[in-house]
Structure 1
Amino acid sequence: MELLVNDARFTLYNVCYKRVLVCWITIAFLVLLTLLFSGLEGLTLFSLGVLWLILNAMAIFLCMWIKLRLSKGLEQCLASVNKLMNKHKLLLALDDRGKLSCHKVNLCFIYFDSAPCIAHLQQFIESEEGKTIMQGWEQRLDVSANDIVIQGSQSTRLSRKQDMAEQVFLRYLQRWGKDFLRRRLDWTLDEEGGNPASPRHYAHALCPCQYVEEILRNKEPKDTRACCPPCNDWLRRRGLD
Protein backbone atom coordinates (compact mmCIF):
# COMPACT_ATOMS: atom_id res chain seq x y z
CA MET A 1 0.00 0.00 0.00
CA GLU A 2 2.91 2.34 0.64
CA LEU A 3 4.10 1.80 -2.92
CA LEU A 4 0.62 2.70 -4.19
CA VAL A 5 -0.10 5.83 -2.16
CA ASN A 6 3.39 7.25 -2.73
CA ASP A 7 3.08 6.90 -6.52
CA ALA A 8 2.40 10.23 -8.24
CA ARG A 9 0.28 8.53 -10.92
CA PHE A 10 -2.16 7.29 -8.27
CA THR A 11 -2.36 10.75 -6.70
CA LEU A 12 -2.85 12.50 -10.04
CA TYR A 13 -5.65 10.11 -10.98
CA ASN A 14 -7.49 10.68 -7.70
CA VAL A 15 -7.13 14.45 -7.89
CA CYS A 16 -7.62 15.15 -11.58
CA TYR A 17 -9.51 12.35 -13.35
CA LYS A 18 -13.05 13.31 -12.35
CA ARG A 19 -12.34 17.02 -12.03
CA VAL A 20 -10.50 18.03 -15.20
CA LEU A 21 -13.54 17.98 -17.49
CA VAL A 22 -15.87 19.45 -14.85
CA CYS A 23 -13.47 22.33 -14.23
CA TRP A 24 -13.21 23.16 -17.91
CA ILE A 25 -16.99 23.04 -18.46
CA THR A 26 -17.43 25.42 -15.51
CA ILE A 27 -14.83 27.82 -16.88
CA ALA A 28 -16.30 27.67 -20.39
CA PHE A 29 -19.79 28.38 -19.03
CA LEU A 30 -18.53 31.40 -17.09
CA VAL A 31 -16.74 32.73 -20.20
CA LEU A 32 -19.95 32.31 -22.21
CA LEU A 33 -21.95 34.25 -19.63
CA THR A 34 -19.31 36.98 -19.65
CA LEU A 35 -19.61 37.28 -23.42
CA LEU A 36 -23.41 37.40 -23.34
CA PHE A 37 -23.55 40.12 -20.69
CA SER A 38 -20.54 42.10 -21.91
CA GLY A 39 -22.65 44.46 -23.98
CA LEU A 40 -21.03 43.49 -27.27
CA GLU A 41 -23.26 43.34 -30.31
CA GLY A 42 -23.32 42.41 -33.96
CA LEU A 43 -20.39 40.88 -35.77
CA THR A 44 -18.03 41.19 -32.78
CA LEU A 45 -20.28 39.11 -30.53
CA PHE A 46 -20.83 36.57 -33.32
CA SER A 47 -17.08 36.23 -33.98
CA LEU A 48 -16.30 35.77 -30.30
CA GLY A 49 -19.07 33.19 -30.04
CA VAL A 50 -17.64 31.18 -32.92
CA LEU A 51 -14.15 31.44 -31.40
CA TRP A 52 -15.57 30.24 -28.06
CA LEU A 53 -17.14 27.20 -29.76
CA ILE A 54 -13.88 26.27 -31.48
CA LEU A 55 -11.77 26.66 -28.34
CA ASN A 56 -14.35 24.80 -26.28
CA ALA A 57 -14.34 21.82 -28.67
CA MET A 58 -10.52 21.74 -28.71
CA ALA A 59 -10.37 21.94 -24.91
CA ILE A 60 -12.86 19.09 -24.49
CA PHE A 61 -10.73 16.84 -26.73
CA LEU A 62 -7.68 17.89 -24.71
CA CYS A 63 -9.47 16.99 -21.46
CA MET A 64 -10.40 13.57 -22.82
CA TRP A 65 -6.77 13.00 -23.86
CA ILE A 66 -5.61 13.98 -20.37
CA LYS A 67 -8.11 11.54 -18.85
CA LEU A 68 -6.80 8.75 -21.09
CA ARG A 69 -3.24 9.49 -20.01
CA LEU A 70 -4.27 9.52 -16.34
CA SER A 71 -6.07 6.20 -16.78
CA LYS A 72 -3.04 4.66 -18.49
CA GLY A 73 -0.79 5.94 -15.71
CA LEU A 74 -3.05 4.36 -13.10
CA GLU A 75 -2.97 1.03 -14.95
CA GLN A 76 0.84 1.12 -14.96
CA CYS A 77 0.91 2.03 -11.27
CA LEU A 78 -1.43 -0.80 -10.25
CA ALA A 79 0.49 -3.23 -12.47
CA SER A 80 3.62 -2.62 -10.37
CA VAL A 81 1.62 -3.05 -7.15
CA ASN A 82 -0.14 -6.21 -8.37
CA LYS A 83 3.19 -7.72 -9.34
CA LEU A 84 3.98 -7.87 -5.62
CA MET A 85 0.48 -8.84 -4.44
CA ASN A 86 0.12 -11.53 -7.10
CA LYS A 87 2.55 -13.72 -5.14
CA HIS A 88 -0.07 -13.92 -2.37
CA LYS A 89 -2.96 -14.65 -4.79
CA LEU A 90 -4.38 -11.16 -4.28
CA LEU A 91 -5.32 -8.62 -6.93
CA LEU A 92 -5.93 -4.91 -6.36
CA ALA A 93 -8.31 -2.86 -8.51
CA LEU A 94 -9.51 0.72 -8.21
CA ASP A 95 -13.09 1.66 -8.99
CA ASP A 96 -14.05 5.34 -9.13
CA ARG A 97 -17.58 5.40 -7.72
CA GLY A 98 -17.85 9.18 -7.42
CA LYS A 99 -20.34 10.87 -9.73
CA LEU A 100 -21.34 14.27 -8.37
CA SER A 101 -18.75 14.18 -5.59
CA CYS A 102 -15.88 13.69 -8.11
CA HIS A 103 -13.57 12.18 -5.49
CA LYS A 104 -14.94 8.86 -4.25
CA VAL A 105 -12.74 5.86 -5.14
CA ASN A 106 -12.75 2.31 -3.80
CA LEU A 107 -9.71 0.05 -3.51
CA CYS A 108 -10.95 -3.51 -3.93
CA PHE A 109 -8.97 -6.65 -3.10
CA ILE A 110 -9.81 -9.77 -5.14
CA TYR A 111 -8.63 -13.23 -4.15
CA PHE A 112 -7.62 -14.93 -7.38
CA ASP A 113 -4.97 -17.45 -8.40
CA SER A 114 -3.45 -15.97 -11.55
CA ALA A 115 -1.02 -18.82 -12.34
CA PRO A 116 -3.43 -20.68 -14.71
CA CYS A 117 -4.25 -17.40 -16.50
CA ILE A 118 -0.61 -16.48 -17.02
CA ALA A 119 0.22 -19.99 -18.25
CA HIS A 120 -2.69 -19.87 -20.69
CA LEU A 121 -1.66 -16.42 -21.96
CA GLN A 122 1.88 -17.68 -22.52
CA GLN A 123 0.59 -20.51 -24.71
CA PHE A 124 -1.80 -18.17 -26.49
CA ILE A 125 0.91 -15.63 -27.35
CA GLU A 126 3.32 -18.32 -28.58
CA SER A 127 0.70 -20.03 -30.76
CA GLU A 128 -1.19 -17.01 -32.11
CA GLU A 129 1.49 -14.35 -32.60
CA GLY A 130 1.54 -13.45 -36.26
CA LYS A 131 -1.86 -15.08 -36.83
CA THR A 132 -4.78 -13.69 -34.85
CA ILE A 133 -2.33 -11.40 -33.00
CA MET A 134 -0.82 -8.90 -35.40
CA GLN A 135 2.94 -8.44 -35.53
CA GLY A 136 4.24 -5.49 -33.55
CA TRP A 137 1.50 -5.61 -30.91
CA GLU A 138 4.00 -5.35 -28.04
CA GLN A 139 5.03 -1.89 -29.27
CA ARG A 140 1.56 -0.61 -28.34
CA LEU A 141 1.93 -1.85 -24.75
CA ASP A 142 4.38 -1.24 -21.93
CA VAL A 143 5.86 -4.67 -22.54
CA SER A 144 9.50 -5.31 -23.36
CA ALA A 145 10.04 -8.22 -25.74
CA ASN A 146 13.80 -7.68 -26.15
CA ASP A 147 16.18 -10.17 -24.57
CA ILE A 148 18.37 -9.10 -21.64
CA VAL A 149 22.09 -9.28 -22.47
CA ILE A 150 24.52 -9.56 -19.55
CA GLN A 151 27.96 -8.42 -20.65
CA GLY A 152 31.07 -10.08 -19.26
CA SER A 153 33.81 -12.48 -20.21
CA GLN A 154 31.00 -14.57 -21.70
CA SER A 155 27.88 -12.68 -22.75
CA THR A 156 24.65 -14.24 -21.49
CA ARG A 157 21.29 -13.65 -23.17
CA LEU A 158 18.13 -14.04 -21.08
CA SER A 159 14.85 -14.42 -22.95
CA ARG A 160 11.93 -12.14 -22.01
CA LYS A 161 9.37 -14.44 -23.64
CA GLN A 162 8.63 -16.27 -20.40
CA ASP A 163 8.02 -12.97 -18.62
CA MET A 164 5.88 -11.44 -21.36
CA ALA A 165 2.64 -13.20 -20.42
CA GLU A 166 2.85 -11.93 -16.85
CA GLN A 167 3.56 -8.39 -18.06
CA VAL A 168 0.53 -8.43 -20.35
CA PHE A 169 -1.64 -9.93 -17.59
CA LEU A 170 -0.64 -7.21 -15.12
CA ARG A 171 -0.91 -4.45 -17.75
CA TYR A 172 -4.65 -4.98 -18.24
CA LEU A 173 -5.53 -6.17 -14.74
CA GLN A 174 -6.86 -2.77 -13.60
CA ARG A 175 -9.08 -2.51 -16.68
CA TRP A 176 -10.45 -6.01 -16.09
CA GLY A 177 -10.92 -5.33 -12.38
CA LYS A 178 -12.91 -2.16 -13.01
CA ASP A 179 -15.26 -3.91 -15.44
CA PHE A 180 -15.51 -6.92 -13.13
CA LEU A 181 -16.45 -4.80 -10.10
CA ARG A 182 -19.16 -3.07 -12.13
CA ARG A 183 -20.51 -6.50 -13.14
CA ARG A 184 -19.96 -5.86 -16.84
CA LEU A 185 -18.23 -9.22 -17.31
CA ASP A 186 -20.79 -11.51 -15.65
CA TRP A 187 -22.07 -14.40 -17.74
CA THR A 188 -25.70 -13.89 -18.74
CA LEU A 189 -28.32 -16.16 -20.28
CA ASP A 190 -31.36 -14.80 -22.07
CA GLU A 191 -34.63 -16.66 -22.65
CA GLU A 192 -33.45 -18.05 -25.97
CA GLY A 193 -30.20 -19.34 -24.50
CA GLY A 194 -28.03 -16.67 -26.08
CA ASN A 195 -24.62 -15.61 -24.75
CA PRO A 196 -23.84 -18.98 -23.13
CA ALA A 197 -21.38 -19.05 -20.25
CA SER A 198 -17.90 -20.29 -21.11
CA PRO A 199 -15.98 -20.17 -17.84
CA ARG A 200 -12.27 -20.81 -17.87
CA HIS A 201 -10.55 -19.94 -14.58
CA TYR A 202 -13.42 -17.99 -13.03
CA ALA A 203 -16.88 -19.53 -12.95
CA HIS A 204 -19.13 -16.45 -12.79
CA ALA A 205 -17.52 -13.91 -15.11
CA LEU A 206 -15.08 -13.41 -17.96
CA CYS A 207 -11.65 -14.59 -16.88
CA PRO A 208 -8.72 -12.09 -16.99
CA CYS A 209 -6.93 -14.18 -19.63
CA GLN A 210 -10.08 -14.21 -21.81
CA TYR A 211 -10.33 -10.45 -21.37
CA VAL A 212 -6.69 -9.95 -22.42
CA GLU A 213 -7.06 -12.32 -25.38
CA GLU A 214 -9.84 -10.17 -26.85
CA ILE A 215 -7.67 -7.06 -26.50
CA LEU A 216 -4.66 -8.72 -28.14
CA ARG A 217 -6.75 -10.01 -31.04
CA ASN A 218 -7.98 -6.48 -31.78
CA LYS A 219 -4.69 -4.70 -31.07
CA GLU A 220 -3.28 -3.15 -34.23
CA PRO A 221 0.44 -2.46 -34.62
CA LYS A 222 1.55 1.14 -34.29
CA ASP A 223 2.32 2.84 -37.59
CA THR A 224 5.40 4.97 -36.94
CA ARG A 225 5.02 6.68 -40.34
CA ALA A 226 1.64 8.19 -39.45
CA CYS A 227 1.73 11.82 -38.30
CA CYS A 228 -1.41 11.22 -36.22
CA PRO A 229 -1.72 7.51 -35.27
CA PRO A 230 -5.17 7.84 -33.55
CA CYS A 231 -6.63 9.52 -36.66
CA ASN A 232 -4.98 6.94 -38.89
CA ASP A 233 -6.49 4.08 -36.81
CA TRP A 234 -9.92 5.74 -36.92
CA LEU A 235 -9.80 6.01 -40.72
CA ARG A 236 -8.50 2.42 -41.11
CA ARG A 237 -11.39 1.00 -39.07
CA ARG A 238 -13.79 2.71 -41.48
CA GLY A 239 -11.97 1.58 -44.62
CA LEU A 240 -10.76 5.09 -45.53
CA ASP A 241 -7.02 4.46 -45.41
Structure 2
Amino acid sequence: MELLVNDARFTLYNVCYKRVLVCWITIAFLVLLTLLFSGLEGLTLFSLGVLWLILNAMAIFLCMWIKLRLSKGLEQCLASVNKLMNKHKLLLALDDRGKLSCHKVNLCFIYFDSAPCIAHLQQFIESEEGKTIMQGWEQRLDVSANDIVIQGSQSTRLSRKQERCALLYLRYAGRWGAYAVKKRLNLSSAVPGRHGEKFVCPCQFIEEHLKTKPPAGIAKFFTLPSQSIQLY
Protein backbone atom coordinates (compact mmCIF):
# COMPACT_ATOMS: atom_id res chain seq x y z
CA MET A 1 0.00 0.00 0.00
CA GLU A 2 2.91 2.33 0.66
CA LEU A 3 4.06 1.86 -2.92
CA LEU A 4 0.62 2.85 -4.17
CA VAL A 5 -0.10 5.90 -2.02
CA ASN A 6 3.42 7.31 -2.47
CA ASP A 7 3.23 7.07 -6.26
CA ALA A 8 2.77 10.48 -7.90
CA ARG A 9 0.56 8.96 -10.63
CA PHE A 10 -1.95 7.75 -8.05
CA THR A 11 -1.96 11.14 -6.32
CA LEU A 12 -2.38 13.07 -9.58
CA TYR A 13 -5.29 10.83 -10.58
CA ASN A 14 -7.06 11.40 -7.26
CA VAL A 15 -6.52 15.15 -7.34
CA CYS A 16 -6.98 16.02 -11.02
CA TYR A 17 -9.01 13.39 -12.88
CA LYS A 18 -12.49 14.52 -11.82
CA ARG A 19 -11.61 18.19 -11.50
CA VAL A 20 -9.60 19.22 -14.55
CA LEU A 21 -12.55 19.44 -16.95
CA VAL A 22 -14.91 20.96 -14.37
CA CYS A 23 -12.36 23.64 -13.49
CA TRP A 24 -11.91 24.64 -17.11
CA ILE A 25 -15.66 24.77 -17.79
CA THR A 26 -16.07 27.02 -14.74
CA ILE A 27 -13.28 29.34 -15.90
CA ALA A 28 -14.65 29.44 -19.45
CA PHE A 29 -18.13 30.31 -18.16
CA LEU A 30 -16.74 33.15 -16.03
CA VAL A 31 -14.79 34.49 -19.03
CA LEU A 32 -17.95 34.39 -21.13
CA LEU A 33 -19.90 36.34 -18.51
CA THR A 34 -17.08 38.88 -18.34
CA LEU A 35 -17.26 39.38 -22.10
CA LEU A 36 -21.04 39.74 -22.10
CA PHE A 37 -21.05 42.35 -19.33
CA SER A 38 -17.89 44.17 -20.39
CA GLY A 39 -19.78 46.77 -22.38
CA LEU A 40 -18.15 45.82 -25.68
CA GLU A 41 -20.34 45.92 -28.76
CA GLY A 42 -20.33 45.21 -32.45
CA LEU A 43 -17.44 43.57 -34.27
CA THR A 44 -15.17 43.59 -31.22
CA LEU A 45 -17.59 41.55 -29.12
CA PHE A 46 -18.24 39.18 -32.03
CA SER A 47 -14.49 38.62 -32.62
CA LEU A 48 -13.84 37.96 -28.94
CA GLY A 49 -16.80 35.55 -28.86
CA VAL A 50 -15.42 33.57 -31.80
CA LEU A 51 -11.98 33.52 -30.19
CA TRP A 52 -13.55 32.28 -26.94
CA LEU A 53 -15.29 29.43 -28.79
CA ILE A 54 -12.06 28.35 -30.49
CA LEU A 55 -10.02 28.46 -27.29
CA ASN A 56 -12.77 26.69 -25.37
CA ALA A 57 -12.90 23.83 -27.89
CA MET A 58 -9.11 23.46 -27.87
CA ALA A 59 -9.02 23.49 -24.07
CA ILE A 60 -11.71 20.81 -23.81
CA PHE A 61 -9.72 18.52 -26.11
CA LEU A 62 -6.63 19.24 -24.01
CA CYS A 63 -8.52 18.36 -20.82
CA MET A 64 -9.69 15.07 -22.32
CA TRP A 65 -6.12 14.26 -23.37
CA ILE A 66 -4.92 15.03 -19.84
CA LYS A 67 -7.59 12.70 -18.42
CA LEU A 68 -6.45 9.93 -20.76
CA ARG A 69 -2.85 10.40 -19.65
CA LEU A 70 -3.90 10.35 -15.99
CA SER A 71 -5.89 7.15 -16.55
CA LYS A 72 -2.98 5.48 -18.32
CA GLY A 73 -0.60 6.58 -15.57
CA LEU A 74 -2.90 5.06 -12.96
CA GLU A 75 -2.97 1.76 -14.85
CA GLN A 76 0.83 1.72 -14.94
CA CYS A 77 0.90 2.46 -11.22
CA LEU A 78 -1.51 -0.39 -10.49
CA ALA A 79 0.57 -2.68 -12.70
CA SER A 80 3.65 -2.05 -10.55
CA VAL A 81 1.62 -2.80 -7.40
CA ASN A 82 -0.03 -5.90 -8.87
CA LYS A 83 3.40 -7.20 -9.86
CA LEU A 84 4.08 -7.64 -6.14
CA MET A 85 0.59 -8.83 -5.21
CA ASN A 86 0.42 -11.33 -8.05
CA LYS A 87 2.77 -13.61 -6.11
CA HIS A 88 0.01 -14.03 -3.53
CA LYS A 89 -2.72 -14.53 -6.16
CA LEU A 90 -4.20 -11.12 -5.42
CA LEU A 91 -5.20 -8.34 -7.79
CA LEU A 92 -5.71 -4.70 -6.82
CA ALA A 93 -8.35 -2.68 -8.67
CA LEU A 94 -9.50 0.89 -8.17
CA ASP A 95 -13.23 1.58 -8.14
CA ASP A 96 -13.85 5.25 -8.88
CA ARG A 97 -16.98 6.36 -7.01
CA GLY A 98 -16.30 10.08 -6.95
CA LYS A 99 -18.34 12.86 -8.49
CA LEU A 100 -16.94 16.33 -9.15
CA SER A 101 -15.08 17.60 -6.07
CA CYS A 102 -16.12 14.68 -3.83
CA HIS A 103 -13.65 12.31 -5.43
CA LYS A 104 -13.69 8.96 -3.66
CA VAL A 105 -11.94 5.79 -4.73
CA ASN A 106 -12.33 2.31 -3.32
CA LEU A 107 -9.40 -0.10 -3.37
CA CYS A 108 -10.72 -3.57 -4.20
CA PHE A 109 -8.70 -6.73 -3.64
CA ILE A 110 -9.64 -9.64 -5.91
CA TYR A 111 -8.38 -13.17 -5.35
CA PHE A 112 -7.38 -14.53 -8.75
CA ASP A 113 -4.82 -17.06 -10.00
CA SER A 114 -3.14 -15.48 -13.01
CA ALA A 115 -1.11 -18.52 -14.12
CA PRO A 116 -3.73 -19.96 -16.55
CA CYS A 117 -4.33 -16.51 -18.08
CA ILE A 118 -0.64 -15.81 -18.58
CA ALA A 119 -0.17 -19.23 -20.19
CA HIS A 120 -3.08 -18.58 -22.56
CA LEU A 121 -1.74 -15.12 -23.44
CA GLN A 122 1.58 -16.70 -24.35
CA GLN A 123 -0.19 -19.10 -26.71
CA PHE A 124 -2.18 -16.21 -28.18
CA ILE A 125 0.93 -14.10 -28.83
CA GLU A 126 2.80 -17.04 -30.36
CA SER A 127 -0.14 -17.72 -32.69
CA GLU A 128 -0.29 -14.06 -33.76
CA GLU A 129 3.45 -13.95 -34.45
CA GLY A 130 2.96 -16.30 -37.39
CA LYS A 131 0.30 -14.22 -39.10
CA THR A 132 1.09 -11.60 -41.71
CA ILE A 133 -2.39 -10.09 -41.68
CA MET A 134 -1.77 -8.58 -38.25
CA GLN A 135 1.29 -6.52 -39.13
CA GLY A 136 2.24 -4.09 -36.39
CA TRP A 137 0.26 -5.95 -33.73
CA GLU A 138 3.23 -5.95 -31.33
CA GLN A 139 2.93 -2.18 -30.94
CA ARG A 140 -0.52 -2.74 -29.45
CA LEU A 141 0.88 -4.65 -26.47
CA ASP A 142 2.24 -1.52 -24.72
CA VAL A 143 5.00 -3.85 -23.53
CA SER A 144 8.60 -3.99 -24.73
CA ALA A 145 9.17 -7.02 -26.97
CA ASN A 146 12.98 -6.88 -27.01
CA ASP A 147 15.03 -9.66 -25.50
CA ILE A 148 17.09 -9.07 -22.36
CA VAL A 149 20.83 -8.91 -23.06
CA ILE A 150 23.18 -9.47 -20.12
CA GLN A 151 26.59 -7.95 -20.85
CA GLY A 152 29.73 -9.56 -19.49
CA SER A 153 32.68 -11.64 -20.60
CA GLN A 154 30.12 -13.60 -22.61
CA SER A 155 26.93 -11.82 -23.60
CA THR A 156 23.80 -13.79 -22.77
CA ARG A 157 20.42 -13.23 -24.38
CA LEU A 158 17.27 -14.22 -22.49
CA SER A 159 13.92 -14.53 -24.23
CA ARG A 160 11.25 -12.18 -22.91
CA LYS A 161 8.27 -14.13 -24.23
CA GLN A 162 7.20 -15.44 -20.84
CA GLU A 163 7.99 -12.20 -19.05
CA ARG A 164 6.22 -10.23 -21.78
CA CYS A 165 3.00 -12.18 -21.22
CA ALA A 166 3.17 -11.54 -17.48
CA LEU A 167 3.75 -7.82 -18.10
CA LEU A 168 0.87 -7.78 -20.57
CA TYR A 169 -1.42 -9.33 -17.97
CA LEU A 170 -0.32 -6.80 -15.35
CA ARG A 171 -0.73 -3.93 -17.83
CA TYR A 172 -4.49 -4.54 -18.14
CA ALA A 173 -5.23 -6.29 -14.84
CA GLY A 174 -6.22 -3.04 -13.12
CA ARG A 175 -8.62 -2.10 -15.93
CA TRP A 176 -10.15 -5.58 -15.90
CA GLY A 177 -10.58 -5.41 -12.14
CA ALA A 178 -12.31 -2.02 -12.34
CA TYR A 179 -14.72 -3.32 -14.98
CA ALA A 180 -15.36 -6.48 -12.95
CA VAL A 181 -16.16 -4.51 -9.78
CA LYS A 182 -18.62 -2.37 -11.75
CA LYS A 183 -20.19 -5.59 -13.12
CA ARG A 184 -19.44 -4.65 -16.72
CA LEU A 185 -17.90 -8.06 -17.48
CA ASN A 186 -20.74 -10.36 -16.50
CA LEU A 187 -20.88 -13.63 -18.38
CA SER A 188 -23.56 -14.46 -20.90
CA SER A 189 -24.61 -17.67 -22.59
CA ALA A 190 -22.75 -16.56 -25.74
CA VAL A 191 -19.49 -15.72 -23.93
CA PRO A 192 -18.52 -18.47 -21.46
CA GLY A 193 -15.76 -17.83 -18.96
CA ARG A 194 -12.39 -19.34 -19.77
CA HIS A 195 -10.80 -19.45 -16.31
CA GLY A 196 -13.56 -18.05 -14.15
CA GLU A 197 -17.20 -18.69 -13.37
CA LYS A 198 -18.45 -15.18 -12.61
CA PHE A 199 -16.71 -12.73 -14.95
CA VAL A 200 -15.10 -12.69 -18.35
CA CYS A 201 -11.54 -13.90 -17.84
CA PRO A 202 -8.66 -11.36 -17.99
CA CYS A 203 -7.07 -13.21 -20.90
CA GLN A 204 -10.38 -13.00 -22.80
CA PHE A 205 -10.61 -9.29 -22.00
CA ILE A 206 -7.00 -8.61 -23.09
CA GLU A 207 -7.26 -10.74 -26.21
CA GLU A 208 -10.40 -8.96 -27.40
CA HIS A 209 -8.87 -5.58 -26.56
CA LEU A 210 -5.72 -6.29 -28.59
CA LYS A 211 -7.74 -7.47 -31.57
CA THR A 212 -9.79 -4.26 -31.68
CA LYS A 213 -7.17 -1.77 -30.46
CA PRO A 214 -6.33 0.82 -33.15
CA PRO A 215 -2.70 1.26 -34.24
CA ALA A 216 -0.53 3.77 -32.45
CA GLY A 217 0.25 7.23 -33.76
CA ILE A 218 -1.61 9.28 -36.33
CA ALA A 219 -2.60 6.14 -38.27
CA LYS A 220 -5.34 5.39 -35.74
CA PHE A 221 -7.34 8.38 -37.02
CA PHE A 222 -7.47 6.83 -40.51
CA THR A 223 -8.31 3.25 -39.48
CA LEU A 224 -11.83 1.86 -39.43
CA PRO A 225 -12.78 -0.06 -36.27
CA SER A 226 -13.07 -3.83 -36.44
CA GLN A 227 -16.56 -5.21 -36.86
CA SER A 228 -15.88 -8.24 -34.64
CA ILE A 229 -16.03 -6.33 -31.37
CA GLN A 230 -17.85 -8.23 -28.63
CA LEU A 231 -19.65 -6.35 -25.90
CA TYR A 232 -19.60 -8.09 -22.51
TM-score between the two structures when normalised by the length of structure 1 = 0.88
* Matching residue of 1:103: 103
Partner of 1:135: helix, strand, or coil?
coil
1:72 equivalent in structure 2:
72
Matches within 5 A, 1:58-207: 58-131=58-131, 134-188=134-188, 196-207=190-201
Q: 1:99 Cα shift?
A: 1.7
Determine the C-alpha separation between the residues in 2 that align with 1:133 and 1:218: 14
Provide the C-alpha distance between the structure 2 equivalents of 1:131 and 1:185, rounded to a whole number of angstroms. 29
- 1:45-56 matches, within 5 Å, as 45-56=45-56
Moved more, 101-110 or 51-60: 101-110
Note the alpha carbon deviations across 1:181-228, whole angstroms, 9 max, x for none. Answer: 11111024xxxxxx5241111112211000000111123443xxxxxx
Q: Which amino acid aligns with 1:208?
A: P
- Aligned-residue sequence identity (percent) comes to 80
Partner deviation per Cα, 1:62-94 (whole Å, 9 max, x = no partner): 000000000010010100100000000100011
Q: Note if contact 2:18-2:100 (Cα within 8 Å) is conserved in structure 1.
A: no
Structure 2 residue identity aligned to 1:235? F
Q: What is the rounded CA distance, in whole Å, between the counterparts of 1:211 and 1:107 in structure 2?
A: 21
Aligned length: 225
> Which letter maps to 1:13?
Y
Other-structure match for 2:210: 216
Alpha-carbon distance, 1:119 to partner: 0.7
> What are the ranges of 5 or more consecutive residues in structure 2 without an aligned counterpart?
226-232
C-alpha deviations, 1:115-153, integer Å up to 9, x for none? 111111111111123539833333344411111111222
Given that residues 89 and 111 in structure 2 are in contact (C-alpha distance below 8 angstroms), is that contact kept between their aligned partners in structure 1?
yes
- 1:236 matched residue in structure 2: 223
Paired residue secondary structure (1:237): coil
For 2:26 and 2:18, locate their aligned partners in 1 and report how far apart those are by CA, in whole Å.
13
Partners of 2:136 and 2:183 in 1: CA distance: 32
Structure 1 residue 32, shift from structure 2 partner: 0.5
Taking the aligned partners of 1:62 and 1:79, their CA distance within structure 2 comes to 26
Aligned mates of 1:152, 1:119 — CA distance in 2: 31
Q: CA RMSD in A?
A: 1.7
Structure 1: gaps spanning 5 or more residues: 189-194, 223-228
Shift of 1:9: 0.5
Paired with 2:89 and 2:16, the residues of 1 have a C-alpha distance of 31
Q: Is the CA contact 1:94–1:174 (under 8 Å) kept in the aligned structure 2?
A: yes
| Distance across 1 between alignment mates of 2:223 and 2:139 | 18
Farther off after superposition, 92-101 or 72-81: 92-101
Three-state SS of the structure 2 residue aligned to 1:25 is helix
**Are 2:186 and 2:200, in contact at CA under 8 Å, matched by a contact in 1?**
yes
Cα distance, 1:52–1:156 mapped onto 2, change above 3 Å: same
Quick one: structure 1 residues 104 and 81, their matched pair in 2 at CA, closer, same or farther if it must change by over 3 Å?
same
Residue 43 of structure 2 corresponds to which residue in structure 1? 43
Q: Given that residues 214 and 223 in structure 2 are in contact (C-alpha distance below 8 angstroms), is that contact kept between their aligned partners in structure 1?
A: no
Counterpart of 2:121, as a letter, is L
Q: Structure 2 CA distance, aligned partners of 1:98 and 1:31? A: 27
TM-score (norm 2): 0.91
